[in-house]
Amino acid sequence: MKAVRKLRPHFSSAILFVGLFFLLLTSLPLHAVEPSELLSDTALEARARALSRELRCMVCQNESIDDSAAPLAHDLRVLVRERVKAGDSDAQILDFLVARYGEFVLLRPRLAWHTALLWGLPPAALLLGAVAIVIVIVRRQRITASEEMANLTPAEEGRLSDLLREER
């Protein structure tokens, strides 16, 4: 175990260059949540697990503290469970952690000015795309309608009305 931890920085830089598109998770696949950490109250434990999934293990690459085996993740899990047991609300716990570790700890960034583009882009893209499609369709229908009108000569119009009459 000790040797493994010592080697982790080397491991992380090595694997980065390996470029395997899925195995880029820095911590070694040890155990994340340990049996001794679990709270006996299942409702509180479920809340703690849900919160853990929203929190980043800050020394790992893109891992929640729920998935990570790093010692820091362990400490954070214990901390979250302590606050849950003490009766803090989810929001209070998150605020507490942000105050201590910065916004980096949240895997779901808060909506604010500096994240407006991040949160705004998906709905904006959808909206703009939809508007663009509607505009193109409307414009093209108008163009074709006027073209078709213009293209018929009087003789053709006569034939068309004859044909329509026959149809009846």
Partner 1 sequence: MIAELGHYALMLALGLALIQGSMPIIGARNNDPVLMSMATPVAVAQFAFVAMSFAALAVCYVTSDFSVLNVYENSNSAMPLLYRLTSVWGNHEGSMMLWVSILALFGALVAGFGNNLPPRLKANALAVQAWIAAAFELFILTTSNPFLRVADAPFEGRDLNPVLQDPGLAFHPPLLYLGYVGFSIAFSFAIAALIEGRIDAAWARWVRPWVLGAWMCLTLGIAGGSYWAYYELGWGGFWFWDPVENASLMPWLAGTALLHSAVVMEKRGALKVWTILLAILAFSLSLIGTFLVRSGVLTSVHAFATDPRRGIFILAILVAFIGGALALYAWRAPLLKQGGLFAPISREGALVLNNLFLTCACATVFVGTLYPLALEALTGEKISVGPPFFNLTFGPLFLPLFLTMPFGPLLGWKRGDLLGATQRLLAAAMLAAVAIAAGFALQHGGPVLAPFGVGLAVFVMAGALIDLAERTLFLRIPLGAALRRAVGLPRSAWGTAFAHFGMGVTLMGIIAVTAWGSERIAALRPGGSIDIAHYRLTFDGLFNRSGPNYRDLVAHFTVRRTNGDLIGTMEPSRRTFPTRNMATTEAALMTRGVSQLYLSLGDPNPDGSVPVRLYFKPQVLMIWLGALIMFIGGALSLSDRRLRVGAPRPARMRAALQAAE
Distance CA 27, CA 59 (A): 9
What is the contact mask toward partner 1 in residues 52 to 91, using x (rule: CB under 8 A)? -xx-x----xxxx--x------------------------
Task: Report the nearest approach of partner 1 to the CB of residue 22 (Å).
Answer: 4
Q: How many residues bind partner 1 (CB under 8 A)?
A: 60
What is the contact mask toward partner 1 in residues 2 to 21, using x (rule: CB under 8 A)? -xx--x---xxxxxxxxxxx
| Residue 135 is a binding residue for partner 1 (CB under 8 A) | no
Contact 15, 23 (CB under 8 A): yes
Instruction: Report the chain's C-alpha Rg in angstroms.
Output: 30
| Residue 117 is a binding residue for partner 1 (CB under 8 A) | yes
Where would I find the H helices in the chain? 2-18, 42-53, 71-85, 90-101, 116-151, 154-167
Contact 100, 57 (CB under 8 A): no
- What stretch of H or E contains 99? helix 90-101
Contacting residues toward partner 1, per CB under 8 A = 1, 3-4, 7, 11-25, 28-36, 38, 53-54, 56, 61-64, 67, 102-109, 114-115, 117-119, 121-122, 125-126, 129-130, 133, 137, 140, 144
